[in-house]
């Protein structure tokens, strides 16, 4: 049996993508679904992915053998920037074959792989490839992380329009309630608006609330 791979992207940097990834993994594990997270590309770190560390804290698993094997963090760059710039700063190119091989191995060992991207859908991985290009190449269903912060409707709709334009599958919109910058009135209205939008434009997509810690 081949695992399902879901690509987790966000509408913006700092939207809570890493927290949402860890939370969803914990929820599915608790439901008896063997789940692991993987970081597509980690920047701003040396040797260990801080995002994978956060996932494991939320999942309450500690480091896994796959982490020690670096299957969950196949590409790490030291400069805290978009991958296309981080690779230049480190003086080496992305090894997409290494990433894909790691994902393939994880698929053999788990029921679900949650593959967290770096930033949003339009973040450039190289000068010639955007994150959404990589998703389209592999036809991964997307879990898009949003929140009720001011401005998120615009960012969310732009991301959803990009998904629709590429003909990609939206598995779920994950609504991060763990964002302290949110105004309660705006957050509730944003959720209501986006739920109505999904009903018309992505009727098969799920709505997932990511609760406060």
Residue 204 known to bind ligand: yes
Q: Are residues 30 and 106 in the same domain?
A: yes
Residue whose structure tokens are 């494991």? 56
Q: Is 17 annotated as a binding residue?
A: yes
Question: 26, 34, 39, 195: which is the annotated catalytic residue?
Answer: 39
Q: Report if residue 102 sits inside a domain.
A: yes
pLDDT on residue 99:
98
Domain ends where: 95, 116, 137?
137
Give the pLDDT confidence of 120-152 residue by residue, as tens digits.
Answer: 999 999 999 999 999 999 999 999 999 999 999
Burial 156-183 (b: 16+ CB within 10 A, else e): bbebbebbeeeebbbbbbbbbeebeebe
Confidence (pLDDT) at 1: 43
Query: Are 177 and 87 members of one domain?
Result: no
What is the token pair recorded at 17? Answer: 């993508």
Q: 117 and 211 share a domain? A: no
In a domain, 151, yes or no: no
The answer to whether residues 50 and 98 belong to one domain is yes
Known binding residue 120? Answer is no
CA distance 16 to 210: 9
Tens digits of per-residue pLDDT, 72-119?
999 999 999 999 999 999 999 999 999 999 999 999 999 999 999 998
What are the residues whose beta carbons fall under 8 Å from the beta carbon of 132, sequence distance 6 or more? 121, 122, 162, 163, 166, 168
Q: Both 92 and 9 in a single domain?
A: yes
Q: Are residues 94 and 196 in the same domain?
A: no
**Binding site annotation covers 119?**
yes
Residue 51 lies in a domain: yes
Question: How high is the pLDDT of residue 23?
Answer: 97
Span 160-212, pLDDT tens digits: 999 999 999 999 999 999 877 788 999 999 999 999 999 999 999 999 999 98
- Same-domain status, 121 and 178: no
Residue 194 lies in a domain: yes
- The per-residue pLDDT for 186 is 94
What percent of the chain has a predicted confidence (pLDDT) above 70?
98
If asked whether residues 106 and 183 sit together in one domain, one would say no
Q: Which residues constitute the domain of residue 110?
A: 1-137
Q: Edge-to-edge strand order for the sheet containing 35-39?
A: 35-39, 112-120, 4-10, 142-147, 170-176, 206-210
Task: Count up the domains in the chain and report the number.
Answer: 2
Same structural domain, 103 and 189: no
Mapping DSSP to helix (H, G, I), strand (E, B) and coil, where does residue 209 land?
A: strand
- Is 148 within a domain? no
Is residue 211 domain-resident?
yes
pLDDT for the residue 14: 87
3-class DSSP assignment, residue 6: strand
Q: Do 187 and 119 share a domain, yes or no?
A: no
Q: Is residue 73 part of a domain?
A: yes
Confidence band for 13, pLDDT divided at 50, 70 and 90: confident
Whole-angstrom distance, CA of residue 5 vs CA of residue 25: 12
Please tell me whether residues 122 and 188 are part of one structural domain.
no
CATH (domain of 54) = 3.40.50.300
Catalytic, 39? Answer yes
> Which residue is it, tokens 């991985």?
125
Is residue 189 one of the residues assigned to a domain?
Answer: yes
Length of the chain, in residues: 213
pLDDT at 52 over 60: yes
């Amino acid at each position: 049996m081949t695992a399902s791979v879901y690509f987790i992207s966000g509408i913006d940097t700092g939207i809570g993508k890493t927290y949402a990834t860890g939370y969803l993994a914990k929820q599915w594990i608790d439901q008896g679904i063997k789940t692991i997270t993987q970081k597509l590309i980690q920047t701003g770190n040396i040797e260990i992915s801080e995002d994978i560390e956060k996932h494991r804290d939320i999942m309450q698993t500690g480091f896994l053998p796959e982490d020690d094997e670096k299957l969950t963090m196949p590409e790490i760059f030291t400069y805290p920037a978009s991958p296309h710039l981080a690779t230049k700063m480190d003086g080496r190119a992305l090894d997409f074959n290494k990433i894909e091989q790691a994902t393939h191995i994880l698929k053999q060992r788990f029921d679900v792989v949650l593959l967290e991207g770096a930033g949003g859908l339009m973040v450039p991985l190289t000068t010639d490839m955007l994150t959404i290009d990589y998703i389209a190449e592999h036809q991964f269903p997307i879990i898009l992380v949003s929140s009720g912060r001011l401005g998120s409707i615009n960012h969310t709709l732009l991301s959803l329009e990009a998904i629709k334009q590429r003909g990609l599958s939206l598995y779920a919109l994950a609504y991060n309630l763990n964002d302290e910058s949110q105004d309660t009135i705006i957050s509730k209205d944003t959720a209501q608006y986006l739920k109505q939008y999904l009903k018309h434009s992505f009727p098969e997509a799920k709505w997932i609330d990511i609760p406060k810690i």
